[in-house]
Amino acid sequence: MSLKTAAVAPWLPWIVGAVGAVLVGGVVGASGIVGHETTEVVEIGRVSVSTTTPAFACPGGAEITTIDRGARVLALSRSDDSRWLAVRDPRAVDSTVWVPARLVTVDDGDNAIADLPLGAPCPAVSLPPLPVEEVAPPAPGPTPTPTPTKPAPAPAPVADTSKPTISSASASPASICTYDNSAPYAWVSTVSVSTADNVGVTGATISWSGAHASGAVAMSGGGGSWSYSYNPPTNAASGTVTFSIQTRDAAGNLSAVATTTVSLDNQCLI
């Protein structure tokens, strides 16, 4: 028994040591002291940023950070139009941000941007409808006073250019006595005219010359008949008196001059 023990004894430490090593190695490996596989987030990825660029929460969404020029980041996905890239955020490696694809450069040998999978677009935001603002109708104001309409101006009257006409001129009696203004001889002669106008005669004048002369004086009458009572001075010289008559209308048109005569007799009572 003792021999066997002595014979076996020299190998026992080695067996125990080997078994212990195996046990220790397993424990160390299980505890992570030796042989633990660590996970390291590598910022150097497939693209590099060519200029300092803002980074967004989603394609075209809100800006949440910036990525410095020259940073190398890992591209994860793209937008459906390949204008945006989803990359690891260098400042928070567990986050994803979006940058414009035109501001990054793909490493040589890597896949093109179009080969990346599509990322999620910006979520649609449904805004509640705006409340309809009720606008009170304006308070009624005073009723405006209508502006009076000016009547159209009356047309300008047509100018009257027609002259009156005298159809006849006469003196009755045609001979009067100037020696004495008493009977049985006549000493007054009535000079009359008949006249007409397209509108109306408004006046007539008479003047005379010859044995007894006078300037123009107004005749009496109206319309188409005008007259004047001629009474020469007493003892006026015998002779012939010639009367000139002219009529006018409201426009100032004058007729042609009409004439008639009266004889004066200074010897009628001798």
pLDDT category at 52 given cuts 50, 70, 90 is confident
What CATH number was assigned to the domain covering residues 47-115?
2.30.30.40
So what's the architecture of 165-265 in CATH?
A: Sandwich (2.60)
The answer on pLDDT for 3 being more than 80 is no
pLDDT (mean) for 20-49: 43
Of residues 201 and 152, which shows the higher confidence score?
201
**Ranked by mean pLDDT, which of 43-47, 62-66, 195-199 comes out on top?**
195-199
Please provide the DSSP assignment of 207-248 as one string. EEEESS-EEEEEPEEETTEEEEEE-PPTTPPSEEEEEEEEEE
- Write down the pTM of the prediction: 0.43
> Considering only 20-29, 145-154, 184-193, which range has the smallest mean pLDDT?
20-29
Number of separate helices (H) and strands (E) present in the chain? 2, 17
User: Which sequence spans correspond to the domains of the chain?
Assistant: 47-115, 165-265
Q: What's the confidence (pLDDT) of residue 105?
A: 85
User: What tens digit of pLDDT does each residue of 182-232 get?
Assistant: 667 888 999 999 999 999 999 999 999 998 899 999 999 998 999 999 999
